[in-house]
Amino acid sequence: MSPTLHISDSRAAGIGRAQRLASDHLLSLQKAEGFWCGLLTADTTLEADFILLQLWMHPPRDGAWNPPTRRLIDKAVESILHRQLPGGGFNICVKGPADVSATVKAYFAVKVAGLPVDDPRMVRARECIRSLGGIQAANSYVKINLSLFGLYPRERVPSVPPEIVLLGNFLYQMSSWTRAIVVALALVHAHNPKRPVPEGFDLSELFLDGAPLGLCRSPDLFTWRNFFLTADRFAKFWEKHGPQSIRRRAIRAAERWMIERFQDSDGLGAIYPPMMYAIMALDVLGYSPDHPLRAEALRQFENLIVDDGRRGVCGETFFFQPCFSPIWDTAIAAYALGEAGRAPDLRAAADWLLSKEIRRKGDWAVKRPHTEPSGWAFEFNNPFNPDIDDTAMVMLALRHARASDPEAQRDCQRRALDWLLAMQSKDGGWAAFDADNNWQFLSHVPFADHNAMLDPTCPDITGRVLEALCAHGLDRGHPAVRRGVDYLIRTQQPDGSWYGRWGVAYIYGACFALRGLRAAGEDDREAHILRGGEWLRSIQNADGGWGEDTRSYNHEVFTAAPSTPSQTAWAVLGLLAGGDTTSQSVRRGIDHLLATQCPDGTWDEELATGTGFPMVFYLNYHLYRLYFPLLALAAFQNVRDASHLDRL
């Protein structure tokens, strides 16, 4: 029996009022079709790469851009400079330190757009870059992009040969997002472009004397790093002297692979980087600007622009979203509303979610060829890449949301359940898009320094999948559930936390690991559950909330930050899942959410709490600050109701 949960009448009334306000506001944001889609914002690298793409497609003539391009570039420049740090650099998350790659991209973009090098903002940015190691310290993708314009030595950047697509299933040992980037970029590099820049333009002032231009070999002779650096030298030799018949065959195969994945998709991979490279690839392949494929690729890319008066977290009004998040937002919103007692309001959401089930085989089927297709993507349309995490979240939402056709919903849920079971990896965990995508040695490939070459299993997704499986009838007696529980016990950190791959960071991992273990029937008196709860209580902020800095990924241990509503909600949810329903930590967490709720029912959240690529790319999900606090309040309310108290 749960411990008696005594809360004051005033707190109980506050919780009820806060839930109503948050639920009403969330429902007011639902689209007529039944879905939710909040803004998804990131850093200045997106706007900087947009200017690079304009230079590729519409280079200035006689020193002047054409007027439509000039207007867009001016908006992008303003958006970039709006986020410059006082020290001159640019960061990859709000309130984060200057990042050399982001700062090099921004400097290039505003310089090529025409900002004078003696402008104080340029001077500060240049000094910042040099203090961080110069342009040589930027990551490989920055250097690759600049090499396309002769601004970085081509022989010093990693090769991305199209022959990769001819190596059997080797391509599918890379993460789904990496293979989309690599195929499109390989097509660009195979044509060895050197696009023009304005006369006299270069970035020589960013090069640091004495710093190496290329990647350095490991001092140990036999390492994967040295192996791949040797392979890179061979690839460069092959580009010049290899049989052209094989190169042509590789280009044709890569082109087919890319174009096939345009079908029924919101662009290649439905995310910004491969969508941009796909436009460039179509260009070098000879597709004219008015060709339907190229025109559609450009249209999908430009759909990511926000230029309608809405604001990003830093106040800018022109910016790019890295992609759209409708399935994710709809699933979490529907689940939170269902937990808050608003299930009757969710029929349209259920109908829409059922309409988005993926019924064709995608890249995942290379390793699971005999599994019936199902699942959901993250975006509106990305049929080659259903997302395990999204699918689990949709399954949780469908616990509450009832579609107009109950039989169709039952069939859909059966297929999705089978698909989730099939996507379990050998280690017992679940990853984002693929199974057994864990060839760690590939992390040493020269172009793998975006920290996302692989898609290994992780505790946050594994916990959510366990929660979804158990919500649909499975229990600890099922082998997949047992293996998932064992995986979570095995991957707990020494301090009691869990690593969170897709949210910042250990709070996120602990929350969903504990929820998965709870759903699977793990006894809350077990040592790993107790240690998880104790860790969450130990990191609570003085104001009663919780916060975590993105630098947790750099330090490989929890790094404190000011409280945020989403991270406070995750901590409360984790504690409740671990059986802590009565501690002062839980009550103070709830009180923090009540005290910080805005009059319109939402919460303010400036810091990034979503993770794209750890240490490289972070995300602000603009609905996290609404539906996760609602879910935490609802969970607390439901625990209270389950205790059958007459007096609150």
Token couple for 97: 């330190």
Maximum CA pair distance of the chain?
83
Sign of CA dihedral 94, 316, 304, 103: negative
Active-site residue list: 389
| Interior/surface letters 26-60, b for 16+ CB within 10 angstroms, e for the rest | beebbeeebbbbbbbbbbbbbbbbbbbbbbbeebb
Is the Cβ–Cβ distance between 435 and 364 less than 8 Å?
Answer: yes
Helix (H, G, I), strand (E, B) or coil at 534: helix
Is the Cβ–Cβ distance between 538 and 574 less than 8 Å?
Answer: no
Q: How many CA atoms lie within 13 A of 200 on its CB side?
A: 5
Is the Cβ–Cβ distance between 465 and 430 less than 8 Å?
Answer: yes
Tell me which H or E stretch contains 620.
Answer: strand 617-621
**3-class SS shares of the chain: helix, strand, coil, % to 5:** 50, 5, 45
The residue with tokens 């392949």 is 285
Q: How many CA atoms lie within 13 A of 541 on its CB side?
A: 24
Residue 24 phi/psi, 5° resolution? -65, -40
Is the Cβ–Cβ distance between 394 and 353 less than 8 Å?
Answer: yes
Give the residue among 471, 364, 472 at the shortest CA–CA distance from 422.
Answer: 364
Give the residue among 635, 558, 640, 541 at the shortest CA–CA distance from 596.
Answer: 541
Q: Please report, to the nearest 10 degrees, the dihedral formed by the alpha carbons of residues 134, 155, 452, 207 taken in order.
A: 0
